[in-house]
Amino acid sequence: HDLAALGTALTDCRSCPRLVEWREEAARVKRRAFADWDYWARPVPGFGPTDARMLLVGLAPAAHGGNRTGRMFTGDRAGDVLVEALHALGLASRPHSVHRGDGLELRGVRCTAPVHCAPPANKPTPGERDTCRPWLARELELLRPTVRGIVALGAFGWQAVLPVLRAAGWTVPRPRPAFGHGARVLLPHSGDGPELTLHGCYHVSQQNTFTGKLTPAMLREVLGAAAEEAGI
């Protein structure tokens, strides 16, 4: 298995009945602005180079964002905010993320989510998170030769990725480190794996960016520091 094959296998997953229904329902009902779109309506694979040094772990695709366009952080405001920041840091080839065929390329960074299907109200259940965990674990395993930093976008991503890291041999402090914007935890590997740094960043959700809880400058600061530390 490589990352491309993993993505192909992922898109056939139907393990969470509630999410299968939701992702397909969104494609039937659509949003008026996207009436002409043929929605993806399947699990959305990770996006970015297969030798990424940094992995961004979000929450889940949005019903009319990634679930419509078929690519992580593509086609909604959250994606725009993230890709603008990546572009400003030289980590994305263009400042906008419109569709999976738009030619956008990321440099050194890969985006994924602990839940690969759009959930109602953007809220996956703990059970859905656990069901989807093996996909994240496998992606991380395939990135292990190159990945040196992880940025958790939001507390959900932070809490989802810690058990995956622990199971893969990274030493996660006990009690578990708490999520916060700008939080930074060094994770040594108990075997022959590389040391990883986990960074916390508020999620790029419209709620956070609209209220100013997360400003573009705050986002660039965490992403820039994480990228530098990961050697990008």
The contact set with ligand SF4 (CB under 6 A) reads: 10, 13-16, 19-20, 43, 115-117, 128, 131-132, 135
The neighbouring-strand residues paired with 152 are 57, 200
Residue closer to ligand SF4 by CB (options 60, 165) is 60
CB of 100 or CB of 116, closer to ligand SF4 = 116
Q: Enumerate residues 6+ apart whose C-beta is below 8 A from 73.
A: 47, 58, 65, 66, 79, 82, 83, 97, 111, 204
How far apart are CB 135 and ligand SF4 at their closest, in Å? 6
Q: How far is the CB of 163 from ligand SF4 (least distance, A)?
A: 15
Closest contact distance (angstroms) between CB of 119 and ligand SF4 is: 8
Q: In whole angstroms, how close is the CB of 196 to ligand SF4 at the nearest point?
A: 23
- Measured from the CB atom, the residue of 42 and 107 that comes closer to ligand SF4 is 42
Report helix angle 216-230 to 77-88, nearest 10: 50
Closest CB 79 distance from ligand SF4, rounded Å: 19
Q: Measured between alpha carbons, how far is 113 from 69 in angstroms, rounded to an integer? A: 15
Nearest residue (CB) to ligand SF4, 8 versus 15: 15
Question: Tokens 């060094």 — which residue?
Answer: 186
When the beta carbons of 13 and 155 are compared against ligand SF4, the nearer one is: 13
Parallel/antiparallel/unpaired status of strands 196-201 and 184-187: antiparallel
Unique residue bearing structure tokens 């019903």: 63
Whole-angstrom distance, CA of residue 138 vs CA of residue 173: 22
**Pair of tokens at residue 32:** 């008026």
Q: Which is nearer to ligand SF4, 65 or 149 (CB)?
A: 65
CB 19, min distance to ligand SF4, A? 5
CA distances from 7 to 21, 50, 76, 165, 202 (A): 20, 11, 21, 20, 26
